[in-house]
Structure 1
Amino acid sequence: MSTARNRRAQWAAGSAVALALLFAGAATVASARDGGAAPAGRPPTAESADAGFARDMAVHHQQAVEMSFIVRDRTRDEDVRRLAYDIANTQANQRGMLLGWLELWGLPKTAPDGKGPMAWMPDTPSTHSGHDMHGGHGTQSADRDGALMPGMATRTELRRLGEADGEGAEVLFLQLMTDHHKGGVAMAEGCAERCAVPVEKRLARTMVDAQRSELDLMSDMLAARGAAPRP
């Protein structure tokens, strides 16, 4: 592909994500009219599971979008690029909805003072790859190398992905995104159980179903490359 065509393809992919965020804002307003408040009719508080999930999953989704754009430029494999595009498009859209709800509820997009990531899911068991539900490896946030929540890649892992090429980049992306989806599923299941706003609970259940499906797909794609998810 020529440089000009490559730039046009990159612009198109970036524009699609931007448009997804724009349309998500409109969808957020519509969804707020159909369940944007808790059953009692009041908006959630900043300490609620609804607000905590919206804040944390917006950050979690942003990293998935970032990883997807990284691998798009590190491989020519159309299956991996298509998966990366689908993840970026879907999660950018959902991120716009989550941030839109916080805006409509009049709540900050950062945690209240003294509350770190995942405070809305206390006492949740560890998940996978040594990452506990509060990010990292059971260490303080300064030691987590940027992995603040379940399944998030560290800054070191993101740098490795940006330096990899071809099949090496494909395998690392699929492994990192598998971890990311497992963490995301655990968070979405937490919201489905704890959140009070009906439309947010529905979105959380949608995330669980979609990401489980993508986990199966990524497992098959790893096997086709003689690799497997990380233990």
Structure 2
Amino acid sequence: MTSATRRWLTAASGLAAVAALLLVVLTAFARADSGPSVPAEDSADVGFAQDMAIHHQQAVEMSFIVRDRTDDEEVRRLAYDIINTQANQRGMMLGWLDSWGAPVAPGTPPMSWMDDGGHAHQGGDGALMPGMATDAQLDELRAASGRDAEVLFLQLMTVHHRAGAEMAEAGAELADTDEIRDLAAGMARSQESEIGLMTDLLTARGATAPPA
């Protein structure tokens, strides 16, 4: 082998090593770009998780109240379902917020993530978002019992679910993460189904749901 040939092979080997290193670097960047990203604090994903966690918290609270104000099996069963489902979903959303390094409390008006701010809501008497019961309504529920408690709970929860389903549909459409999109879509379906159930329960008690 001539010295010229050896020099050529050495140079070729060096170029191959550089090319291999470049390929490794480019592959690493490609993997990083295609991997899961953390949603920004002002994203629909974070806004949905923050707002829906608050919305769910009140639904769980109302369900605990009616559970202790009636012996009716159908209403108590619905209350247990809401407690278990929405408490679990709330825990998931709070866990995602923590993993994203996002605060639990939103820094913007509630529901402003849904569009350009047109859904932003400034409620009064504890009703932070559309559909949420006021403090006075919660006090009325705590003071009621039997059929009165059942009817009031079903009416308040129907309004609560309508707004929750609207928020969930927006979350399923606007979110970027699979976690939020899938959870929100499931929420919308289940809450619409429960609205139908609550309408039937109200009818059986000679009452009607509040107008939409």
Band the TM-score falls in, shorter-chain normalisation: 0.7 to 0.9
Residue 75 of structure 1: aligned partner: 70
In structure 2, the CA distance between the partners of 1:172 and 1:153, relative to structure 1 (3 Å rule), is: same
Which SS does the other structure have where 1:229 is aligned? coil
- Cα RMSD after superposing both structures: 1.6
- After superposition, the C-alpha distances for 1:31-60 in whole angstroms (9 at most, x for unaligned) are xxxxxxx97632001100000000000000
Pairing 1:1-231 to 2, within 5 Å after superposition = 41-112=36-107, 115-122=108-115, 133-135=119-121, 140-141=122-123, 144-231=124-211
Bigger radius of gyration among the two: 2
**Which of the pair has the greater relative contact order for Cα pairs under 8 Å at 6+ separation?**
1
Q: Which amino acid aligns with 1:122?
A: D
- C-alpha distance in structure 2 between counterparts of 1:67 and 1:99, whole Å: 20
- C-alpha distance in structure 2 between counterparts of 1:173 and 1:191, whole Å: 26
- C-alpha distance in structure 2 between counterparts of 1:173 and 1:39, whole Å: 46
- After superposition, the C-alpha distances for 1:151-199 in whole angstroms (9 at most, x for unaligned) are 1001010000000110000000000000000010000001011000012
More helix as a share of residues: 2
- C-alpha distance in structure 2 between counterparts of 1:218 and 1:204, whole Å: 21
Residue 9 of structure 1: aligned partner: none
Question: Identity of counterpart residues, as a percentage?
Answer: 59
Which 5+ residue runs of structure 1 have no aligned equivalent?
Answer: 1-37, 126-132
In structure 2, the CA distance between the partners of 1:39 and 1:48, relative to structure 1 (3 Å rule), is: farther
Which SS does the other structure have where 1:147 is aligned? coil
- C-alpha distance in structure 1 between counterparts of 2:51 and 2:112, whole Å: 10
- After superposition, the C-alpha distances for 1:102-150 in whole angstroms (9 at most, x for unaligned) are 00101111112xx11111013577xxxxxxx444xxxx54xx1111112
Give the TM-score normalised by the residue count of structure 2.
0.81
Q: Which amino acid aligns with 1:191?
A: G
Where in structure 1 do 4 or more consecutive aligned residues deviate above 2 Å? Answer: 38-41, 122-125
Which SS does the other structure have where 2:114 is aligned? coil
- C-alpha distance in structure 1 between counterparts of 2:182 and 2:200, whole Å: 28
Q: Give the C-alpha shift of residue 222 in structure 1.
A: 0.2
